[in-house]
Structure 1
Amino acid sequence: MSTYFLIIIYLAFISLGLPDSLLGSAWPVIWPEMGSSLGSAGIISMIIAGGTIVSSLFSNTIVKRLGTGRITFVSCLLTAASLFGFSVSPSVLWFIVMAVPLGLGAGAVDAALNHYVAEHYKAHHMSWLHCFWGVGATLGPMIMAVNLVHAQSWRGGYAVVAIIQFGFAMLLLVTLPLWKKVAATREPQLPAALSGNLPDEAAVNLKPQANTIRLRGVKPTLLTFLLYCGIEAMVGLWGASYLVGARGVAPDTAAAWISVYYAGITVGRLITGFITLKVHNRLLIRYGQLVTIIGGAILVIPLHPALSLAGLILIGLGLAPVYPGLLHETPARFGKENSARLIGYQMAVAYTGTTLIPPLFGLLSVRTSIAVFPFAVLTLLIFMFCSAERVNRLLGQSTLGRE
């Protein structure tokens, strides 16, 4: 039953990814029709991110009261209603209003599902879960593109995704009783998964704590999440501008290369899921980050522009195991009783990185040049690696031979 139930969880992450890329793909058509400005998308995006951060911070309390199944159902309804609201929006102001429930719904279900899988399933499922988010994020623009071509309207794209979300919400409603049943069948597997091989000085992390932020290794872990999501979003947002403005790549080619970067993350997570069957999470996190640093170094080299594509591919492939791997390690590193709250914090910090780091680089590029992009990426990648390794040292996991 628990294996078949994974299909529902995978579908949930496809539905979570579907709306994430709709705004960017439709905005070039939306803002002229609405009589708005190109930059208004940034305001809408920040409101969505703000709602996501708030709901992530309170996800532990909400999950304890309602349970993961109900949270996923309610969040899916919120998302569907918001997307339908977008499809009938008469103005950008209405977009801003609808952005609030969209962000709240996305943050709550993201944190709840990540905690559920981290606690009840093995590491390869976490990698595949985030791979399916990539499937949803890829399908969203495709649905929008089809509607723009055939219906000549962005509203139809939002309406179709809203209908898909409403349909999935009904599936969740029917399967609500399964969440607790599956959790009960997976419970006997938790002790082995939580062993973690922690030394005595770090074993206190496995005990329930009122102030989880003060647990050994939590702060550098949160910093790692902030840097990871900031880097992932920064490369996606500014990579094409760098390729066009500093390397002389054609705009359509640059856009294709950024698509390959995202494909590297998605395919990398699919492959990582199989590798985790033989290799420990922490080893994959470490080597994944080393691959990103190699990719960042290649990006810095001012030789043939094709090298930039190789650098982007390596960065995407290297990033693939980091985020799901860190999430799955949370119960093992910080204890089952602390993991729900901490995963909520991790989601909030991750979205903070997504919200802040790309615009901060935008300010830097305005004051200097877009040519500093690869140097900024490489610097942040090195900081992320150092932060992740600090967690390993604090928890006595810097040597992986004991796994």
Structure 2
Amino acid sequence: MATLFLIVIYLSFISLGLPDSLLGVAWPIMQPEIGASFGSAGIISMIIAGGTIVSSLVSGSIIQKLGTGQVTLISCLMTAGALLGFSVAPSLLWFAVLAVPLGLGAGAVDSALNHYVASHYKAHHMSWLHSFWGVGAMLGPIIMSYHIADDNSWRQGYWAVAMIQFGLVVVLFITLPLWKRVAERQQASKSLSISSEAAHVEEKQHNDIKSQKSSAAQKHPIKIKGVKFTLVAFLFYCGVEATVGLWGASYLVGARNISAETAASWVSLYYGGITLGRFMSGFITMKVSNRHLILIGQLTALAGGIILLLPLPNVLTLTGFILIGLGLAPIFPGLLHETPARFGKEQSAKLMGYQMAAAYTGTTFLPPVFGLIASNTTIKLFPIAALVFIFAMLLGSEKVIRTLKAQQKKEL
């Protein structure tokens, strides 16, 4: 039952990724139809991201009251309804209104499922969970490109994804009793080990006292050396991931003269690179350290950005998108995993919150900023923006390592 239930959780995370890539690939043909300015996609993206931030911040108390199953069910219902609304929305104003429940629902699902898997499943399941987000983000453009090519209708693309979401709502409703049952089984399994831990209680209490004394002497987390630089890395990581996803299709259509349906399928391969890269990195980490894997990913993404910038044939431009996706794949989970090792377990919980806030800030503001710049200049600046974001992320990440190394030398 636990394995079957885990499949339901993975399906839920696929549904989380499905809407994330739709707006960017559909925007080249949506924009003239709804009479919006070119940079308006950034505004809609900002509203969605803002809703995600709000629901993530309050999700903890809501999960305690309703439980993960009900929160996931209600949130998926919200996103399905919002996507159905997108398929019939007549103007930009309606898109802005519908973006609110879409963002709120997505943020709640993200937080609820991450919390549930972290609490009741082993660590490697978390890695696969995030790779399934990539599956959804990859399928979204494929579905949209099919409908654009078939009947030139982005509305049908949104309708199709909405129906998939409503299908998941039905599955979640049927399996709702399983959430509590599986959690209780996992908790019972954990309780069996309590007696074996009793012998270590005294030692643990002694260590806790030492830890408390150490923690009391520590600075505020934001003042720890290296933290500000890692926040910069998170900010620009999510900034470049969201910017490429949102504006990639517009760049291909506007600067490379590629059809909207082909551009949509190419962007799906970008998300495919993220998905494949995260799946592979789960195995690669067994042989390669997180630090080296992060650096390899950043350099790979940088190479992809350079390919986009050069006046190369379109087929090589596709290679650039795929390389950026592959390069970005291991960076986010790798940076998260390094937090306790770099800054200590005592501060890691708080620092996780700061890092996620920085990540969402990058998602919220950097894509609209580029949209504003592009609407007043040219979409041809897209490769430059991607390279700037990737390079800033690389500098922030490497600065953390150098700062911590310098601190270790002083302590020695």
TM bucket, shorter chain: 0.7 to 0.9
* Per-residue CA distance 1:130-176 (angstroms, 9 max, x = gap): 22112222333555566775897637425413422422431452222
Quote the offset at 1:266 in angstroms.
Answer: 1.7
Aligned residue for 2:72? 72
Quote the offset at 1:398 in angstroms.
Answer: 11
Q: Which range moves more in the overlay, 275-284 or 65-74?
A: 65-74
Aligned residue for 2:183? 179
Query: Is the CA contact 1:124–1:277 (under 8 Å) kept in the aligned structure 2?
Result: no
CA distance in structure 1 between the aligned counterparts of 2:311 and 2:317, rounded to whole angstroms: 9
Q: Which range moves more in the overlay, 373-382 or 312-321?
A: 373-382
CA distance in structure 1 between the aligned counterparts of 2:113 and 2:394, rounded to whole angstroms: 26
TM-score (norm 1): 0.75
CA distance in structure 2 between the aligned counterparts of 1:240 and 1:150, rounded to whole angstroms: 19
Aligned residue for 2:170? 167
Aligned residue for 2:203? none
Query: Is the CA contact 1:58–1:344 (under 8 Å) kept in the aligned structure 2?
Result: no
Query: Is the CA contact 1:115–1:343 (under 8 Å) kept in the aligned structure 2?
Result: no
| % same residue | 59
- Which residue, out of 328, 333, 341, partners 1:324? 333
1:224 maps to a residue whose letter is A
Matched, 1:135 2:144: no
Q: Which range moves more in the overlay, 373-382 or 248-257?
A: 248-257
Matched, 1:20 2:20: yes
CA distance in structure 2 between the aligned counterparts of 1:257 and 1:83, rounded to whole angstroms: 22
Quote the offset at 1:322 in angstroms.
Answer: 1.0
Matched, 1:272 2:281: yes
CA distance in structure 1 between the aligned counterparts of 2:145 and 2:78, rounded to whole angstroms: 24
Aligned residue for 1:110? 110
* DSSP 3-state at the match of 2:179: coil
Could you tell me which runs of 5 or more consecutive residues in structure 2 were left unpaired when the two chains were aligned: 198-210
Quote the offset at 1:317 in angstroms.
Answer: 0.9
Matched, 1:315 2:337: no
Aligned residue for 2:365? 356
Aligned residue for 2:205? none
- CA pair 330-23 structure 1, distance change in 2 beyond 3 A: same
CA distance in structure 2 between the aligned counterparts of 1:335 and 1:347, rounded to whole angstroms: 17
Aligned residue for 1:197? none
- CA pair 373-342 structure 1, distance change in 2 beyond 3 A: same
- CA pair 283-32 structure 1, distance change in 2 beyond 3 A: closer
Query: Is the CA contact 2:230–2:397 (under 8 Å) kept in the aligned structure 1?
Result: yes
* Per-residue CA distance 1:94-143 (angstroms, 9 max, x = gap): 44333222211211222343355456656643332222112222333555
- CA pair 116-305 structure 1, distance change in 2 beyond 3 A: same
- Which residue, out of 392, 399, 404, partners 1:390? 399
TM-score (norm 2): 0.74
Query: Is the CA contact 1:389–1:398 (under 8 Å) kept in the aligned structure 2?
Result: no
Matched, 1:381 2:368: no
Matched, 1:290 2:293: no
Matched, 1:226 2:226: no
- CA pair 231-29 structure 1, distance change in 2 beyond 3 A: closer
Aligned residue for 1:199? none
* Per-residue CA distance 1:68-96 (angstroms, 9 max, x = gap): 45543442343334345556657654443
- CA pair 140-298 structure 1, distance change in 2 beyond 3 A: closer
* Per-residue CA distance 1:361-387 (angstroms, 9 max, x = gap): 234445655444433322322221221
- CA pair 210-121 structure 1, distance change in 2 beyond 3 A: farther
Quote the offset at 1:220 in angstroms.
Answer: 2.6
Could you tell me which runs of 5 or more consecutive residues in structure 1 were left unpaired when the two chains were aligned: 192-202
Output the aligned Cα RMSD: 4.2
CA distance in structure 2 between the aligned counterparts of 1:65 and 1:243, rounded to whole angstroms: 46
1:137 maps to a residue whose letter is A
Count of residues paired in the alignment:
385
- CA pair 327-63 structure 1, distance change in 2 beyond 3 A: farther
Return the index of the structure with the highest Cα Rg: 2
CA distance in structure 1 between the aligned counterparts of 2:174 and 2:220, rounded to whole angstroms: 37
- CA pair 271-321 structure 1, distance change in 2 beyond 3 A: same
Q: Which range moves more in the overlay, 84-93 or 315-324?
A: 84-93
Query: Is the CA contact 1:60–1:340 (under 8 Å) kept in the aligned structure 2?
Result: no
- CA pair 325-392 structure 1, distance change in 2 beyond 3 A: same
Query: Is the CA contact 1:123–1:276 (under 8 Å) kept in the aligned structure 2?
Result: no
Q: Which range moves more in the overlay, 150-159 or 136-145?
A: 150-159
* DSSP 3-state at the match of 1:279: coil
2:239 maps to a residue whose letter is G
* Per-residue CA distance 1:332-359 (angstroms, 9 max, x = gap): 5566776565444434432321232223
Aligned residue for 2:48? 48
Query: Is the CA contact 1:126–1:328 (under 8 Å) kept in the aligned structure 2?
Result: no
* Per-residue CA distance 1:193-238 (angstroms, 9 max, x = gap): xxxxxxxxxx99x969996544554433322221011111222334
- Which residue, out of 154, 157, 160, partners 2:160? 157
